[in-house]
Chain A
Amino acid sequence: MTKRIDFQVDAAAYKHWRVSYEGPVAELVMDVDENGGLFDGYLLKMNSYDLGVDIELSDIVQRMRFEHPEVKVVVMKSAKDRIFCAGANIRMLGAAAHSHKVNFCKFTNETRNTFEAAEADSGQKYVAAVKGACAGGGYELALACNHIFLTDDSASAVSLPEVPLLAVLPGTGGLTRVTDKRKVRRDRADVFCSTEEGVRGKRAQQWNLVDEVISNAKFDTVVAERVAQMAADSSKQDVAQGIALTPLDRRFGEDGSVTYSSVEVAVDRAGRKAVITLHGPKEDAPADMDAFTAQGAEAYMLRLAREFDDAILHLRLNEMELGLWEIQTQGDPEAYAAHEALLLENADHWLANEVLMLWKRVLKRVDVTSRSLVALVEHGSCYTGLLAELLFAVDRSYMMEDEFEGDNRPIAAITLTQANFGTVPMGNDLTRLETRFYGTPEAVVAAKDAMGAALEAEEADALGLVTEILDDIDWEDEIRIFMEERASFSPDAMTGMEANLRFAGPETMETRIFGRLTAWQNWIFNRPNAVGAEGALQRYGTGVRGAFDMERV
């Protein structure tokens, strides 16, 4: 087996980033160790990144929220001279398997989205202080920040050189954010994205590629002043003390299974299936947010979200042949509801908010996971509130109806809570129920009317909350046939079909990134013009240009 990619990193030993904190301002300094690549065969020169660099960034961004709630502005910088960031490492991309490239891009996109949303979600604003070349994925990092300072030294430029240089797209949100976020006029965006050297100085500001262009000699001073002002103007509440995100309780089994304190991953290689079980709480809900805060990372709702998140990432990157994920929950719905209710009732408490926002991100990860997803609502299950949300994230769901012989677990029921009606919207800015019932808003109203009730199979079916309810006689066979059928379909067709069906309704920048941009990028990643032996990506660095098939498709 190839090396397992671990998404848990030691925060005391980052290889590629340095973070320093001063009151409400944190400095996030990119200083990529060129010998610290995740795999062999490439050097991370000029602050270029691979998945390992991004895993650290993701960890930092997460910790910034939980461990450093006092931070209101995060300034992203480079420690390298004359280079901000050169983007994703091209040799790494050239050598990587298609599946790795796709998952790499997905993860990096999720991380960009996370720090971009940190301002709206928790009042933590990321800004980029760009000195030196800021190219491709480097500019995409800056684009995901909500303010970009660029130095005016007549050399530093922002650029998206992917098309002219590599025959691929700026696929980590680049094309989309230029038009949708920065609202650069489309013809200028066209010029910008086909110019290898990019745009510098005043023109970068005129075109709105950056927010401010600052004289080089005064750059650091002016940025510090502006950042201090942003921190002073921030409406983020003052929080003196964060909580520590302690290491996860996690064990890997020989057979590929993973056991966390509240999440279990079982592997069925023959069936190309992973079974992910989320367990209800063993302990009572904390009395109040003070008690919750005292529990810190051990608090059930936070622990469960972190464990589930890690399981998702592990399966995505390390278990690519497990094309079907079966989601299970088990536990006491009422006990779970008490834990969740504490957060919902205290949503204005910084930590309650952070935990709910984490759930929002984790559920979004589920939405964009390119695996067939099925949820089974078995007896003894715990599909309440945020966990019920899983039913609306998956492609299909099946629910047990009535008693099953020899099964003495409590009868299966689904309970909707406030969390299903706006706390954790999807990337399209609708709730999962709104998306599910796109075109029949009255169905959402009916579901809301049933909020709080334990809905057994027939009621859940009537409300349209599950795909199918099955009794003791049909259950086993129907489920088996569904799974066998699913496992036999082309994984490509499944990925495409599911990704299309999951996001009904309006487009947002986020859905455009994960849908339109990513899909085109992945198409290009499969085309000889980029990845063929004579393609631009393969030839990059050899001095020989890519040979293109000039037919427009």
Chain B
Amino acid sequence: MLDLINVSYDTQIPNNVGLSEDRKVLKALEKWHPGYINWWNKLIPQNFQESMVYLRTAVSVDPKGWAKFDYVKMPEYRWGVLLAPAVEDRRIPMGEHKGDLAWQEVPGEYRNMLKRLIVIQGDTEPGSVEQQRFLGLTAPSLYDMRNLFQVNVEEGRHLWAMVYLLQKYFGKDGREEADEMLIRSSGSEEAPRMLGAFNEETPDWLSFFMFTYFTDRDGKMQLESLAQSGFDPLSRTCRFMLTEEAHHMFVGETGVSRTIQATVEAMNKAGITDPYDVNKIRDLGVIDLPTIQKKLNLHYTLSLDLFGQEVSTNAANAFNAGIKGRYLEARIDDDHQLKDDTYTVWDFEDGKAVQKEVPALTAINMRLRDDYTRDASGGIRRWNKIIEKANIDFALKLPHEAFHRKIGVFAGKTFDPDGEMISGAAYDAKVNDWLPTHADGDFIQSLMKPVYEPGKFASWIAPPKVGIDNKPGDFEYVKLHMA
């Protein structure tokens, strides 16, 4: 019998889905594999490919102790196909098929809808690796470099997970879509990634932390709602991906925390109390708080755009079909069909942003976005505690959701971060205070000098409180290959 908890390593592709007995899919995946390795090898600078990185690899899907840590060269990482254990007698949690047994095969009528959702999710996974490909060159420590690579290989595995679903359940079309995943690439003029935020640059480490905090969190919300899917293989896939995703957000949150920590410590030490005394603060080799706020504004708003239109037919269709649920669907106290419910969304009427009630079914995106905003505000509170503790009069905050949007009702209009609609001229006059400028970029870039000595950190970032896998502070997380 198949051991569906522990990972089988008897094929080239570690898995707990019995691949060695599923010749057809195994063949398809093995055919796809060289293209993937090729993509990976061309992506990340060669000396990092040869380096030994202290990575965790999933060896089981058992929630207690699913991973083991060891040194591995990234191209030799065992990217595998791992699904969370099946829940016996699982039922479709929402929509018109609510209460029916979850589907183990793709229902024909929803094939396209499912495929599209999987393709969009899958496309984001390699997208972020592409965005972050050069960050190793400026890592502020080996600890951070290791975290970066951990996130990268796991995003790679997430791509594998989606590709597995495409190849196993979507026939020839699915195989083609799997190939396209390696053709599109972030920021490409030729064939860009499907979603805007995954075509933006991640030029520096603060962006990386903001990205993993805000944009990976969008990923978390999407995975949470796909984990509700009535299509059981998708649900199980996403549930396992979520265990890995938690680490990505941890990297983001602590990365920003440590950046703030370094800033306030340096300010205290130099006796600077005014957070807006930017030049003096920057002279200390740390990033001033107003610039951190600007970065936050940028990444938060780009991430909001990922949730799509406030009122969306596709989202409504997917919910009703039982393909994609809401965040924590099971904990919501309603009929899980949204027959007559309404939900408050933003709309734009007579030149003003107004809130109005629409059928809840069509507002699935908006609801998920609201849940996202709540989820994202936790870290902000913790960041502000650090500032408060240092006795500096400054508080980070999430801008209003109307600010700096390219998708949805606010797109194409100018709002300030408090949500006031303002003229284009007023916006232009202030935008440099709200979003990172090229000059801010130049400054941050000037701090991005690699620190490759074990236990040492760049000036602008504080060491972590605890090491990965409880390793000591001077642990050599990456044994750099020096060619």
Question: Which residues from chain A sit less than 8 Å from chain B, CB to CB?
Answer: 152-155, 164, 195-197, 215-217, 540-545
Q: Give the 3 A-B residue pairs with the shortest CB-CB distance, closest first.
A: A543-B316, A154-B191, A543-B361
7 A-B pairs (CB sep. < 8 Å)? A155-B192, A197-B112, A216-B189, A217-B190, A542-B361, A542-B362, A543-B319
B175-186 toward A: CB 8 Å interface, digit per residue (1/0)? 000001001100
Task: Evaluate contact between B183 and A541: CB separation under 8 angstroms.
Answer: no
Cβ contact of A545, chosen from B184, B321, B362, cutoff 8 A: B321
CB distance from A131 to the nearest CB of B (A): 12
Q: Are B362 and A543 in contact, CB atoms less than 8 angstroms apart?
A: yes
The answer to whether A154 and B183 touch across the interface, beta carbons within 8 angstroms, is yes
Q: A155-B194, A543-B316, A543-B361 are in contact. List 16 more A-B contacts (CB 8 A).
A: A152-B190, A153-B184, A153-B191, A153-B192, A154-B184, A154-B191, A155-B184, A155-B192, A195-B112, A197-B112, A216-B191, A217-B189, A543-B313, A543-B319, A543-B362, A544-B96
Name the one of A153, A217, A544 contacting B361, with C-beta atoms under 8 angstroms: A544
Asked if A164 meets B362 with Cβ closer than 8 Å, knowing A154-B184, A217-B190, A543-B316, the reply is no
B190 touches A164 (CB 8 A): no
CA distance A541 to B312 in the complex (A): 7
**Which of B190, B313, B362 is A153 in contact with, Cβ under 8 Å?**
B190
- Interface flag for B317 (CB, 8 Å): yes
Residues of B within 8 A of A216 (CB): 188-191
- When the two chains form their complex, are residues B194 and A545 in contact, meaning their CB atoms are under 8 A apart? no
Q: Does B275 belong to the interface (CB within 8 Å)?
A: no
CA distance A541 to B320 in the complex (A): 11
Are B316 and A541 neighbours in the complex by a CB distance under 8 Å? yes
How many residues of B sit at the interface, in one of the four size bands?
20 to 34
List chain B residues, Cβ under 8 A from A152: 190-191
A153-B192, A154-B191, A217-B190 as given contacts; A540 in contact with B313, CB under 8 Å: yes
Chain A residues lying within 8 Å of B364, measured Cβ to Cβ, are 543
Q: Report whether A197 and B96 are in contact in the complex, using a CB–CB cutoff of 8 Å.
A: no
User: For residue B188, which residues in chain A have a CB less than 8 angstroms away from its CB?
Assistant: 216-217
Q: How far is the CB of A277 from chain B (nearest CB, A)?
A: 46
Q: Is B18 an interface residue (CB 8 A)?
A: no
- Interfacial chain A residues near B313, Cβ < 8 Å: 540-543
Of B180, B315, B321, the residue contacting A154 (CB under 8 A) is: B180
Q: List chain B positions with a Cβ less than 8 A from chain A.
A: 96, 112, 116, 180, 183-184, 188-192, 194, 313, 315-321, 338, 359, 361-362, 364
Q: How far is the CA of A178 from the CA of B361 in the complex (A)?
A: 36
CA distance A524 to B315 in the complex (A): 27
Q: Chain B contacts of A543 at CB under 8 A?
A: 313, 315-320, 338, 359, 361-362, 364
Q: What residues of chain A lie closer than 8 Å to B361, measured between beta carbons?
A: 542-544
Inside 8 A of B190's CB, which chain A residues have their CB?
Answer: 152-153, 215-217
Q: Which of A197, A216, A541, A543 has the most CB of B within 10 A?
A: A543
Neighbouring B residues of A164 by C-beta, 8 Å: 112
Can you name the residue of chain B whose Cβ is closest to the Cβ of A541? B313
B residues near A154, Cβ cutoff 8 Å: 180, 183-184, 191
Question: In chain B, what residue has the closest Cβ to A153?
Answer: B191
In the bound complex, do residue B320 and residue A545 qualify as a contact, i.e. CB atoms below 8 Å apart? yes
Question: What separation, in Å, do the CA atoms of A216 and B191 have in the docked complex?
Answer: 7
Chain B residues with Cβ below 8 Å from A540 are 313
A195 and B364 alpha carbons, distance in the complex (Å) = 25
Q: How far is the CA of A154 from the CA of B318 in the complex (A)?
A: 23
Instruction: For B176, give the chain A residue with the smallest CB separation.
Output: A203
For the complex formed, measure the closest distance between the CB of B324 and the CB atoms of chain A, giving whole angstroms: 11
Which of B180, B313, B338 neighbours the largest number of chain A CB atoms within 10 Å of its CB? B313
Cross-chain contact A196 with B320 (CB below 8 angstroms): no
| In the complex, chain A residues whose CB is within 8 Å of the CB of B183 | 154
Whose C-beta in chain A lies nearest to the C-beta of B315? A543
Instruction: Tell me which residues across on chain A come within 8 A of B338, comparing CB atoms.
Output: 543
State the CA gap A217–B338 with chains docked (Å): 44
**Closest CB of chain B to A370's CB: distance in Å?**
32
Does A542 lie within 8 Å of B321, measured CB to CB?
no
- A164–B318 CA distance with the chains assembled, in angstroms: 15
Most buried by B among A153, A217, A540, A544: A544
Chain B residue at minimal CB-CB distance from A46 = B309
Chain A residues closer than 8 Å to B362, beta-carbon distance: 541-543
Contact A545 B317, beta carbon cutoff 8 Å: yes
Q: How far is the CA of A155 from the CA of B315 in the complex (A)?
A: 20
The residue in chain A whose Cβ has the minimal distance to the Cβ of B338 is A543
CB-CB under 8 A from A195, the residues of chain B are: 112
CB distance from B311 to the nearest CB of A (A): 8
Chain A residue at minimal CB-CB distance from B348: A35
Shortest A546–chain B CB gap in Å is 11
| A residues less than 8 Å from B96 (CB atoms) | 544-545
A542 touching B189 by the CB < 8 A rule? Answer: no
CA distance A545 to B318 in the complex (A): 10
Give the Cβ gap from B351 to chain A, nearest Cβ, in Å: 11
User: When A153-B192, A154-B191, A216-B191 are in contact, do A542 and B316 touch as well, CB less than 8 Å?
Assistant: yes
Closest chain-A Cβ to B325's Cβ sits at a distance in Å of: 13
B321 — which chain A residues lie within 8 A by C-beta?
A: 545
